[in-house]
Amino acid sequence: MRAVVFDRYGPPDVLRLEDVERPVPKEDEVLVKVHATTVNRLDCATREANRRSGLALSFMSRLVFGLRQPRQRVLGTEFAGEVEAVGAAVREFAVGDKVFGSSGLSFGAHAEFICMRESARIAHMPAGMTFEEAAPICDGALNALTCLKQADLRKGRRILIYGASGSIGTAGVQLARYFEADVTAVCSTKNLETVRSLGADRVIDYTQEDFTKNGQTYDVIFDAVGKHSFRRCRGSLRPGGIYLPTDGFGNLILALVTPRLGGKKVLFQIPPRQTKQDVLFLKELIEAGKYRPVIDRRYPLEDVVEATRYVETEQKTGNVVLTI
Ligand SMILES: NC(=O)c1ccc[n+]([C@@H]2O[C@H](COP(=O)([O-])OP(=O)(O)OC[C@H]3O[C@@H](n4cnc5c(N)ncnc54)[C@H](OP(=O)(O)O)[C@@H]3O)[C@@H](O)[C@H]2O)c1
């Protein structure tokens, strides 16, 4: 089968198309013929061994994915496609079913076929969706859900979502609204309308207004794009308020220390717990019209390097899809 592989950590052009062996499903596994996948920030960070996040995180990344070179040669965490074959013990899926899901840190979705355990993050595609629409359901939403679950969102709670136009941010706005919180979203001018259309109660253009200086306070501040900090946001949190980061080694330390001190705190779940139940929950939300993944650009698999370069501008709105 064709797959995008890489043999050394580095810039996007370490990626290349190659013929590799097609995976064979084990007893409890499903073989999926992938029709669409995505390039996301996790793919990019792993491909360059988290070089941009500093030495400590880069070393940790290499410990997990291969010290000198990547152990898993095929990136890609999200997929939508058709079941091609099933193992003898598989009950939930049959050949021909349309499915979507997330392989997470196991990767392998930038290929014509991927094997998934039936108990893993795989589900039948929501009715009426195309493969391209279904491929980006998981990444932003599972990451946002992991963060937001820690914040006890409900009616009457005020949340500010910073970086509301990215993959995690666009999902975060919709999920926070689903949980009936009062949502203030922050993005740049070009994304105001998109973010408003996702259901934010109000949208702040960060090129015009600094939300930390307008006197408003929140129960929760979700930095969905890793560009803010607890220190800078602190004054905009209500007493006992929660700061939810999405990356940063310093935030790991703050998440260990601040909950023990009482008062305002950082909550950061590492490793993130994302389950099949979460994927089924997203499918239900989509079918109820309460969530839709935002798609920015689509590229054929052959243009994976170009797609990756675009994702690395850190300017995509929502998700970037690869079609196979
Ligand atoms: N996606 C993953 O799998 C994953 C997993 C774990 C952690 N993370 C981390 O989570 C963060 C977000 O990931 P993502 O995939 O959602 O990102 P993304 O989709 O690449 O975010 C792109 C968006 O960020 C906004 N942005 C860029 N610079 C900004 C700034 N200075 N202030 C506010 N917004 C800014 C841009 O919109 P504007 O023009 O409107 O600013 C753009 O729409 C990253 O730090 C990533 O490392 C991602």
Angle between helices 138-148 and 276-287 (to 10 degrees): 110
Measured from the Cα of 43, ligand 1's closest atom is 3
Write phi, then psi, for 148 (nearest 5 degrees): -70, -30
- Sheet arrangement for strand 237-244: 202-205, 182-187, 158-162, 218-223, 237-244, 265-266
For residue 137, the cross-strand partners are: none
The angle subtended at Cα 314 by Cα 114 and Cα 197, nearest 5°, is: 90
- Give the CA diameter of the chain: 61
Nearest CA to ligand 1 atom 36: 315
Q: How far is the CA of 66 from the centre of ligand 1 (A)?
A: 25
Nearest CA to ligand 1 atom 31: 227
Q: How far is the CA of 224 from the centre of ligand 1 (A)?
A: 6
pLDDT score of 132: 98
User: Would you give the distance in Å from CA 230 to the centre of its chain?
Assistant: 21
pLDDT tens digit at each of 324 positions of the chain: 999 999 999 999 999 999 999 999 999 999 999 999 999 999 999 999 999 888 888 999 999 999 999 999 999 999 999 999 999 999 999 999 999 999 999 999 999 999 999 999 999 999 999 999 999 999 999 999 999 999 999 999 999 999 999 999 999 999 999 999 999 999 999 999 999 999 999 999 999 999 999 999 999 999 999 999 999 999 999 999 999 999 888 999 999 999 999 999 999 988 888 999 999 999 999 999 999 999 999 999 999 999 999 999 999 999 999 999
Calculate the alpha carbon distances from 137 to 16, 130, 256 in Å. 25, 11, 30
Query: How far is residue 42's CA from residue 45's CA, in Å, rounded to a whole number?
Result: 5
| Dihedral, CA of residue 227, residue 102, residue 268 and residue 170, to nearest 10 | 40
166 lines ligand 1 (CB under 6 A): yes
Return the half-sphere exposure (C-beta side, CA atoms, 13 A cut-off) of residue 294: 23
Residue pair 233/212 in contact by the 8 Å Cβ criterion? yes
Nearest CA to ligand 1 atom 25: 163
Two tokens, residue 15: 């990626």
Write phi, then psi, for 193 (nearest 5 degrees): -65, -45
pLDDT score of 56: 85
194 lines ligand 1 (CB under 6 A): no
Contacts of 149 (CB under 8 A, 6+ apart): none
Residue pair 57/50 in contact by the 8 Å Cβ criterion? yes
40 lines ligand 1 (CB under 6 A): yes
Ligand 1: which of 37, 38, 40, 41 to mutate, most ligand atoms within 8 Å of CB?
41
Query: How far is residue 148's CA from residue 157's CA, in Å, rounded to a whole number?
Result: 12
Measured from the Cα of 317, ligand 1's closest atom is 43
Ligand 1: which of 162, 168, 186, 296 to mutate, most ligand atoms within 8 Å of CB?
168
pLDDT score of 192: 98
Ligand 1: which of 48, 194, 225 to mutate, most ligand atoms within 8 Å of CB?
225
Could you write out the three-class secondary structure of 288-306?
CCCCCCCEEEEEEHHHHHH
For residue 162, the cross-strand partners are: 186, 223
Q: Which pTM value belongs to this model?
A: 0.96
Q: How far is the CA of 191 from the centre of ligand 1 (A)?
A: 13
pLDDT score of 74: 98
